[in-house]
């Protein structure tokens, strides 16, 4: 074979490199074989080799130094692995992150792009961790704050991952709060609220008639059930709704305790009466504490009992 028949270039991953004519030493060949590769050619300059992966047959441009001192990774096998991991984790692998080689860019189920460490996606693929879309999560937390009449401004200024920065819609006061407390309503405005646990509260039952005609009953607590109903819960202004019963309780702390216990009892004794939030989400701004209206009599009876117990205790 004369020089003219010898190819002068080699294309690896869509990039064409010049072939470097020079001998390939037996110890390089042995090293490559031990690490799962065949040396196809020397490329670019005296420092680089073209290696063919034994597993997938793909070509890789690898530094001779890397081959001799470490285990070279096959870019094709890695790409296949990233794609498979992504699929198992419910994502679509789009590309490597241009700024960090340990990260990939993926499309989540919701359509948003998420950037995650390859190792993290592998753990998600095995079900060890969950991948949450930041965009959807932010919208979700925004809504969660809105349900309590607060506006989520952003992450905690002090950097605590369980805290966020919020503004109270009623008075404009800005403060940091634990997200869990906002979610459960165990929060208070440093400017305008009496501390919830010490302030008097009310346990209430409300009824709603959905556009579908379905009737629901809600049990909850609030220091102002009227405002809770009209300014927070009622997403649809046309929806017929009213407060059925209110029981005054001495403190917010009592209200939480009594209300929680009653919910637990109701869920246990009437599991068939819990309602999928999908049925009312568009009309009522709440995620739980709602039951089928067939439970109304039982709830009203329980509220009577709570009121009687409180009277006896007082
Ligand atoms: Zn390979
Ligand atoms: Zn999303
Ligand atoms: Zn306030």
Evaluate whether residue 262 is within a structural domain: yes
CA-based angle 128:96:124, to the nearest 5?
Answer: 5
Which ligand number lies closest to the CA of residue 192?
Answer: 3
- Distance, CA 129 to ligand 2 centroid (Å)? 17
Which ligand number lies closest to the CA of residue 112?
Answer: 2
pLDDT in tens, 168-179: 987 889 999 999
Are 19 and 69 found together in one domain?
A: yes
Q: Residue 219 is part of which domain span?
A: 201-313
- Asked if residue 185 lies in contact with residue 200, where contact means CB atoms within 8 angstroms, the answer is no
Which ligand number lies closest to the CA of residue 74?
Answer: 1
Evaluate whether residue 196 is within a structural domain: no
Are 61 and 84 found together in one domain?
A: no
- Distance, CA 56 to ligand 1 centroid (Å)? 4
pLDDT band at 6 (very low <50, low <70, confident <90, very high): low
> How many distinct structural domains can be found in the chain?
4
Contacts with 57 (C-beta within 8 Å, 6 or more apart), sequence order? none
- Asked if residue 206 lies in contact with residue 233, where contact means CB atoms within 8 angstroms, the answer is yes
pLDDT in tens, 128-154: 999 989 899 999 999 999 888 899 999
- Which of 55, 67, 49, 61 has the alpha carbon at shortest distance from 12? 61
pLDDT at 120 over 90: yes
Are 29 and 47 found together in one domain?
A: yes
State residue 148's pLDDT score. 84
pLDDT in tens, 170-223: 788 999 999 998 988 778 888 776 566 678 899 999 999 999 999 999 999 988
Which ligand number lies closest to the CA of residue 110?
Answer: 2
Which of 73, 91, 110 lies at the terminal end of a domain, its last residue? 73
pLDDT at 235 over 50: yes
Evaluate whether residue 286 is within a structural domain: yes
- Distance, CA 282 to ligand 3 centroid (Å)? 27
C-alpha 168/C-alpha 151 separation (Å) is 6
Which ligand number lies closest to the CA of residue 151?
Answer: 3
Which ligand number lies closest to the CA of residue 107?
Answer: 2
- Distance, CA 145 to ligand 3 centroid (Å)? 13
State residue 306's pLDDT score. 94
Are 245 and 305 found together in one domain?
A: yes
Average pLDDT, the chain: 91
Are 65 and 116 found together in one domain?
A: no
- Distance, CA 134 to ligand 2 centroid (Å)? 7
C-alpha 220/C-alpha 205 separation (Å) is 7
Are 289 and 207 found together in one domain?
A: yes
- Distance, CA 196 to ligand 3 centroid (Å)? 12
The pTM score is: 0.52
Are 233 and 257 found together in one domain?
A: yes
pLDDT band at 243 (very low <50, low <70, confident <90, very high): very high
pLDDT in tens, 50-107: 999 999 999 999 999 999 999 999 999 999 999 999 999 999 999 999 999 899 999 9
Are 104 and 206 found together in one domain?
A: no
Strand-pairing partners, residue 205, are: 219, 245
Evaluate whether residue 167 is within a structural domain: yes
Are 212 and 295 found together in one domain?
A: yes
- Distance, CA 113 to ligand 2 centroid (Å)? 7
Evaluate whether residue 193 is within a structural domain: no
Which ligand number lies closest to the CA of residue 150?
Answer: 3
Are 81 and 69 found together in one domain?
A: no
Are 99 and 147 found together in one domain?
A: no
- Distance, CA 191 to ligand 3 centroid (Å)? 5
Which ligand number lies closest to the CA of residue 136?
Answer: 2
């Amino acid at each position: 074979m004369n020089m003219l028949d010898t190819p002068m270039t080699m294309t690896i991953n869509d990039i064409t490199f010049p072939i470097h004519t020079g001998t390939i030493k037996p110890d390089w060949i042995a090293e490559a074989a031990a690490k799962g590769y065949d040396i196809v050619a020397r490329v670019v300059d005296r420092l680089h080799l073209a290696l063919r992966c034994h597993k997938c047959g793909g070509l890789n441009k690898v530094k001779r130094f890397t081959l001799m001192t470490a285990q070279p990774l096959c870019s094709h096998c890695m790409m296949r692995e990233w794609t498979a991991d992504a699929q198992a984790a419910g994502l679509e692998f789009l590309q490597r992150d241009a700024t960090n080689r340990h990260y990939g860019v993926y499309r989540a189920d919701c359509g948003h792009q998420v950037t995650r460490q390859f190792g993290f996606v592998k753990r998600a693929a095995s079900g060890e961790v969950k991948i949450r879309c930041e965009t959807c999560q932010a919208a979700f937390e925004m809504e969660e704050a809105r349900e309590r009449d607060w506006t989520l401004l952003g992450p905690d200024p002090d950097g605590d991952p369980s805290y966020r920065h919020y503004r109270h819609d009623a008075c404009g006061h800005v403060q940091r709060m634990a997200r869990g407390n906002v979610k459960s309503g165990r929060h208070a405005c440093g400017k305008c609220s009496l501390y919830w646990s010490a302030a008097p509260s009310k346990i209430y039952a409300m009824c709603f008639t959905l556009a579908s005609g379905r009737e629901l009953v809600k049990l909850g607590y609030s220091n102002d059930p009227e405002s809770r109903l009209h300014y927070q819960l009622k997403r649809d202004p046309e929806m017929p709704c009213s407060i059925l019963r209110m029981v005054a309780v001495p403190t917010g702390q009592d209200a939480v305790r009594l209300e929680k216990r009653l919910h637990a009892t109701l869920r246990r004794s009437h599991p068939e009466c819990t309602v999928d939030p999908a049925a009312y989400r568009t009309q009522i701004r709440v995620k739980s504490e709602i039951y089928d209206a067939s439970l109304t009599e039982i709830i009203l009876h329980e509220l009577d009992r709570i009121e009687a117990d409180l009277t006896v205790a007082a």
